[in-house]
Structure 1
Amino acid sequence: MAHFFANSLLQHKTRYQLLATVIVNIITFGHGVGVGWLSPTLTKIQTPDSPLDFEVNLAEISWLGSMLGLGSLCGNLTIAVLIERAGRKCCLYLMAGPYACIWILIYCASNVYYLYAARFLCGFTGGAGYLVVPIFISEVADSNIRGALTSMVMLSVDLGILAGYILSTYLAYHVVPFLAIILPVAYFMANIMLPETAPYLLRKSQLAAAENSYRFYRNQRSADCELTSRTNFEQLRTAVLSQQTRNATPLSYKDLTTKPALKGFAASIVLSLGYQFSGVFSFINYMSDIFRASGCIVDVNTATIIIGLVQIVGVYTSTLLVDVVGRRVLMLTSTMGVGIGCIAFGCFTYLAEIYDLSDFNWLPLVLMIIICYVANIGLIGIFFLVLVELFPVKIRSLATSLSVIFLSLLVFGSLKLFPLMLHYWGISYTMWFSAASGLLTFLYFWLFLQETKGKSMIED
């Protein structure tokens, strides 16, 4: 506990790092609202009282879910091209426009293609944000709080998902867009005050701007801090120049096939496969359908909101622990917990078809609470933090981009297949498939995942 307070996010030198993290995560919160909006809305638009003038069938529902993955892929590719050319700040600005269009499309929807486009843009915002926001935070944050600040990406997404659940459950379909469109406006305006990251500016030889950025994020702009700030900045400049000297040769195929690079790619592939095929992201998108299929006694939308709260508690737990116990312990605990929880959930629903378990129909909610909590302390909560830290400095931007592109393809596939698996396999076999994926991921991490706590972002 003493360690946590020593690294408090509110101490004088890091408060602007926290402020910057909060500002850039307005857009990830908004992305979460867009993701959470779908689950209760699917319940509404499949009833005779649908607020829409058109009907949606099972195939269209699976496309509605999976368009998120296609949008995410396009967002990844766009940011991968721009992040080193235009800078982190430009990429952050870029996300406001597509996000605003989501809610215009939802409000104006006259056929299902409007909703497809809205989900595509929601994915675009997420795919772009999941790539640029962790990199931005990792470059402005001190190493001793980098884990806590970066894990706030998923905390803000989960807060947004909860808000999306609540808004779309209790407000009329056409009211939600009026509230949600406030977010991109606030995000765009707040970003004006944030300077570009110092490491990026140094790599572009903008020395004065880099020093101003460094002093802003370390809150060292007063005369009293002049000597300390200059000394620390020179250390950063030396480290960046040293890294540039080592990486002076252009990036080549050989850089992607070194032993550290291949180990990073292997870990990122397993991390992405485990994240998607363990089902935890699909659960978030189709939570209402899962509770309906399990026979849970609690109202499906109420249960979905409860899960939204649990996700926030889980990610907050990871924020507190990630720089204390490390990344590896949280990932191992998370993947093991998801695997065991999904086995139990599948067993309950399987036995419920054979025996009368109506006295225990509260159990699906309890099991899903456990699954989502342990998923969010590791597999979800620190996914992007671990992903960024896996790779050597020279290939980090490219490798992270490639990994998130791969993840987006998996998002598309898993969200497209999940409602079909529920329909054709049933809830039990779907959950057992998720359990097997979670446990295989645990096994790989136990054998091969290395701890990256305290790893430098500018040195290998």
Structure 2
Amino acid sequence: MTLKLRLASAFANPNCLLGRRNRHQFLVTLLVNIATFSHGLGVGWMSPVMRDLQTDQSPLNFPVLVDEVSWIGSLVGIGSVMGNLFAGFLQDRIGRKLVLFALAVPNTIFWFLIYFVQSVEFLYIGRLMAGMTGGACYVVLPTFISEIADTNVRGRLGSMILLSVNMGVLAGYIVSTHVDYFTAPPFIIALPLCYFICNFLFPETPHHLIRKGKIEAAKKSFMFYKNIRRDDIKAESEFDELEYLVTKEQNEKTKSFDYKDFITKPAFKAYASAGVVLACNQFSASFCVTTYLSDVFAASHTTLDVGMCTIVIGVLQIVGNYATTLLCDKYGRRILMLTSTGGASMCLVAFACFVYYAQEYDLSSVGWLPLLILSLYVFLCNIGMVGCMFVVLVELFPSKIRAVGVSTFVVILSSTVFLTLKIFPICVAAWGIAVTMWSCSVITFCGFLYFLFFLEETKGKSLLEA
């Protein structure tokens, strides 16, 4: 009886994701994140495979050169830009739901090309398609989730985007390490198909439907996502308030949306903060380490098995993102960003120092240190710079320019993904991994200083605030 009372009390808590009010929001968030899991699976699967493709044990009947591997790794960034532009242009015109449906197409093409590969061009196009899925996800999912979620759970639900990506990355590491190249794709392709079917189970967001003048459909959508009955007087009043605010926001945009909205003081503060968030996310080498993880460990002089190290890092990515879902709404975004940038900067210095001295001295007795340092680094990156990035981006911009601002910065982010993935192996070859990591540490520490003095807390901020 006591256990039942405790469970009832837990579910009655407005912050409980499985409570009545939040249940549908949580379940729908899980369903749409099948797309991000599948995308992460492709990213993680390619990391060990790219190393195998350059060896004598390559599963393909043609050699893959180092320069071709850098293109395979970086083309996901170009695809991501294409996905950003596609989702950014269409989500307000055709709705979030239709864009969500479309995400399944390039991901399915990716796995088909991987399986039926005849030349390196198949891998190029496949990675481009994988990037399109990820790029579109990173535009439409934060918008979709922020519009269906209550303010008190929005941070946790939004941070699940990166959590599911990293769960997919871990699954990809494991699958590519233990399953034959041509065995996995026929089974994995079921994921985007399953995701496509699941999209029929929930409606368009009430915000978008109100903007399109479909008030009855918007009301049904609102009741579904809040999991409340139509005859609930309080809910009716809550929907009327939402309708008023969204309509007012739309009318203000229609009347006065011009270039002046982009040159206000709040807008410039948002640009600066978003730019630093973006720079920390990419130039901290967090995504480069994930993509070239096997190569990074191989160059680190570790005495541990590279495959095992890769899987451990994958687990830590998930732990970091899960920690974000627990801490984001409780302690706020700013403290997580400070902890993430400050801690990651110190870890990069430590890793670079180990690699530097391992070239001169025998450090095999502490050959486990690279794994320990990178594990801590990946965890710290994921509790802030990675896990909170999309939540913070959505909340930084004033409401009048939010859609354009977020879409623009996500496009810049995707372009930067291509840049960093392309130059990272070049920098490692030219400078060595130690100098490369030291450079990344300096950039990350500069981000820490900016967040310390200038980043404002956005926890609890209404998306309809100016």
Q: TM-score, normalised by structure 1?
A: 0.97
Q: Distance in 2 between matches of 1:122 and 1:298?
A: 31
Deviation digits for residues 128-147 of structure 1 (CA, Å, limit 9, x no counterpart): 00010011000000000000
Is 1:292 aligned with 2:295? no
Match of 2:200 among 192, 195, 207: 192
Is 1:43 aligned with 2:51? yes
Match of 1:400 among 406, 412, 428: 406
Per the alignment, in what secondary structure is the counterpart of residue 76 of structure 1?
helix
Mapping for residues 126-145 of structure 1, pairs under 5 Å:
126-145=134-153
Q: Unaligned 5+ residue runs, structure 1?
A: none
Q: Distance in 1 between matches of 2:107 and 2:282?
A: 24
Cross-structure match for 1:181: 189
Cross-structure match for 2:358: 352
Is 1:435 aligned with 2:441? yes
Deviation at 1:12, TM superposition (A): 0.5
Is 1:370 aligned with 2:376? yes
Deviation at 1:6, TM superposition (A): 4.6
Q: Distance in 2 between matches of 1:8 and 1:313?
A: 20
Q: Which moved more, 1:46-55 or 1:365-374?
A: 46-55
Q: Give the aligned residue type for 1:402.
A: T
Q: Distance in 2 between matches of 1:169 and 1:389?
A: 39
Cross-structure match for 2:106: 98
Q: Distance in 1 between matches of 2:321 and 2:164?
A: 9
Cross-structure match for 1:385: 391
Match of 2:86 among 78, 89, 92: 78
Q: Which moved more, 1:313-322 or 1:39-48?
A: 39-48
- Note if contact 2:352-2:433 (Cα within 8 Å) is conserved in structure 1: yes
Q: Distance in 1 between matches of 2:378 and 2:296?
A: 13
Match of 2:269 among 251, 260, 263: 263
Q: Give the aligned residue type for 1:137.
A: I
Deviation digits for residues 90-125 of structure 1 (CA, Å, limit 9, x no counterpart): 111111111100000000111111001111111110
Q: Distance in 2 between matches of 1:291 and 1:197?
A: 44
Mapping for residues 165-176 of structure 1, pairs under 5 Å:
165-176=173-184
Is 1:117 aligned with 2:138? no
Moved segments of 4+, more than 4 Å: 2-6
Cross-structure match for 1:230: 236
Deviation digits for residues 396-421 of structure 1 (CA, Å, limit 9, x no counterpart): 11111100010011000000011111
Do the aligned partners of residues 457 and 182 (structure 1) sit closer, same or farther apart at CA in structure 2, a change above 3 Å counting? Answer: same
Q: Distance in 2 between matches of 1:32 and 1:52?
A: 23
Match of 2:426 among 389, 399, 420: 420
Deviation at 1:43, TM superposition (A): 2.3
Do the aligned partners of residues 6 and 229 (structure 1) sit closer, same or farther apart at CA in structure 2, a change above 3 Å counting? Answer: closer
Deviation at 1:50, TM superposition (A): 0.9
Deviation digits for residues 202-261 of structure 1 (CA, Å, limit 9, x no counterpart): 1111100100000000001364xx212211111111221222233332532211111111
Is 1:22 aligned with 2:30? yes
Q: Give the aligned residue type for 1:33.
A: L
Q: Distance in 2 between matches of 1:354 and 1:132?
A: 49
Q: Distance in 2 between matches of 1:99 and 1:310?
A: 25
Is 1:336 aligned with 2:342? yes
Cross-structure match for 2:367: 361
- Note if contact 2:44-2:169 (Cα within 8 Å) is conserved in structure 1: yes
Q: Unaligned 5+ residue runs, structure 2?
A: 1-8
Deviation digits for residues 307-341 of structure 1 (CA, Å, limit 9, x no counterpart): 00000000000100000100000001000011000
Q: Distance in 2 between matches of 1:394 and 1:19?
A: 30
- Note if contact 2:10-2:19 (Cα within 8 Å) is conserved in structure 1: no
Q: Give the aligned residue type for 1:229.
A: A
Q: Give the aligned residue type for 1:91.
A: V
Q: Distance in 2 between matches of 1:240 and 1:430?
A: 47
Q: Distance in 2 between matches of 1:132 and 1:429?
A: 37
Q: Give the aligned residue type for 1:80.
A: G
- Note if contact 1:239-1:459 (Cα within 8 Å) is conserved in structure 2: no
Q: Give the aligned residue type for 2:414.
A: S
Deviation at 1:353, TM superposition (A): 1.1
- Note if contact 2:230-2:236 (Cα within 8 Å) is conserved in structure 1: no
Q: Distance in 2 between matches of 1:78 and 1:173?
A: 31
Q: TM-score, normalised by structure 2?
A: 0.96
- Note if contact 1:25-1:153 (Cα within 8 Å) is conserved in structure 2: yes
- Note if contact 1:3-1:324 (Cα within 8 Å) is conserved in structure 2: no
- Note if contact 1:243-1:459 (Cα within 8 Å) is conserved in structure 2: no
